Structures are given as C-alpha cells and as structure tokens.
Chain A
Amino acid sequence: KQEVTQIPAALSVPEGENLVLNCSFTDSAIYNLQWFRQDPGKGLTSLLLIQSSQREQTSGRLNASLDKSSGRSTLYIAASQPGDSATYLCAVRREDAGGTSYGKLTFGQGTILTVHP
C-alpha cells in the first residue's frame, strides 16, 4: 500500500527566503506526482505535475524535482512571499496499465507554510 509522507509538517520563514518542502513515497511504481496548494477553506490548486519519466518541472518561482527510484520529491520555492502562505500537498498516482485506478491519488498530510513579512 502506497504511503506518502511530507516533511516538515509546518514551516515558518521570513519573506524572501528560499525554501524546500519534502515529499516521500514508499512505492516507486508511480505514474506521476502532483503538487497542490490549499488556502484555508478553499479547494486545491494544482501547482506542478511531474511525470514518472521526468526529473523536474518549473513554474515561475516554483521548481519540483522527482527521484522516483529513491521515492522522493521536493518543491523548491524561491524568494518566498507572504502570499505563498498555504498548505502544500503532494499526491502520487500509481502505475496502472489496466486503467482501473482512474487516476486515483494518494495524498500526503501536507506542509503548512507561513511566510511572515
């Protein structure tokens, strides 16, 4: 059974710092990994999706890496801003040649990020 762990559970940093959020998974037979952010009381916003054949994806100040063999992914946020404060979730989708999982995701517990001015 796939288990996804995110470290740290919470992180508080001053504005402007570069930071790294970690995600690890126990079963390396994944199809892709997706990073989301969630603001309080809101839905999840997709940030980046990394396919299992890729090593990293970038969007603006965000960079996500994937090391499938070691079961790890990191989300790097450059020059953090107060508006980055949110809960960040990673989710993995397992390999599914038969298509029977219909894209089911296994989520980590999230990292609560606070960026203070």
Chain B
Amino acid sequence: DTEVTQTPKHLVMGMTNKKSLKCEQHMGHRAMYWYKQKAKKPPELMFVYSYEKLSINESVPSRFSPECPNSSLLNLHLHALQPEDSALYLCASRLTGTGNSPLHFGNGTRLTVT
C-alpha cells in the first residue's frame, strides 16, 4: 500500500469544468511533487514544492495551478483543460528536496478530458 494518497482515482471532466486533484502524505515529508504520465511514457515533472513553497515549475500551462496548503497536502487545480491533458497525474514526496531519501509515489489520478 502506498503512503501517498491521491483522490480521486479517476476523473472525467469537460473542457469548461474546474476540478481539483488532491494528494496527502503523513510521513513528515517536506518536498512534494506533481508528475504527469502519458501512456507508455515515463513520468514528466510538473511542479515541486519544498517546505510548502513552490520551488520548480517546469513551464506548465497556467490551466494547471498547484497549491500546497500545509506540509501534508498538495492540490492541483484544473481549469479549461484540453483533451491532450488526459493522462495519469502522479503525486510524489520525499523527506526533503536535498539528501538521499527515496521518492515515494501515490497511485495517481487517471484524468480524462472530454
């Protein structure tokens, strides 16, 4: 069982909808990540939060808006998405952004944009 919990597991949304993905961990990790994964491809980094501060934005379109309300929670707000944004969205965390701790992933949210 993963210690990084993502909800919902599946999400279908129209291009005019607004929805949010949620990620939660209670391992005391202070670095949290959003990745996007298309079928048969490796994960691609979107955002990194370190100590609740946005530290890396990999030139992600503004229709994706991350939020880290506290050290255990990470949200990804979605608005006006395109069908090509359909993918598996993975949240991950590690103890800190530095150091040798491994990265832990959640099971992802399967997003379909219609």
Binding site for B on A (CB under 8 A): 31-32, 34, 36, 41-46, 49, 51, 89, 91, 96, 99, 101-105, 107-110
Binding site for A on B (CB under 8 A): 2, 4, 6, 31, 41-43, 45, 48, 50, 55-56, 88, 90, 92, 94, 96-98, 100, 102-108, 110
Contact partner, A102, options B42, B56, B107, Cβ 8 Å: B56
B108 contacts A42, CB within 8 Å?
yes
In the complex, which residues of chain B have a beta carbon less than 8 angstroms from the beta carbon of A99? 97-98
In the complex, which residues of chain A have a beta carbon less than 8 angstroms from the beta carbon of B103? 34, 46, 91, 103, 105
In the complex, which residues of chain B have a beta carbon less than 8 angstroms from the beta carbon of A109? 41-42
In the complex, which residues of chain B have a beta carbon less than 8 angstroms from the beta carbon of A91? 42, 103
B108 contacts A43, CB within 8 Å?
yes
B88 contacts A110, CB within 8 Å?
no
In the complex, which residues of chain A have a beta carbon less than 8 angstroms from the beta carbon of B45? 104-105
A32 contacts B100, CB within 8 Å?
yes
A109 to B43, alpha carbons, bound, how many Å?
A: 9
A114 to chain B, nearest CB (A): 15
Contact partner, A43, options B90, B97, B102, Cβ 8 Å: B90
A104 contacts B48, CB within 8 Å?
yes
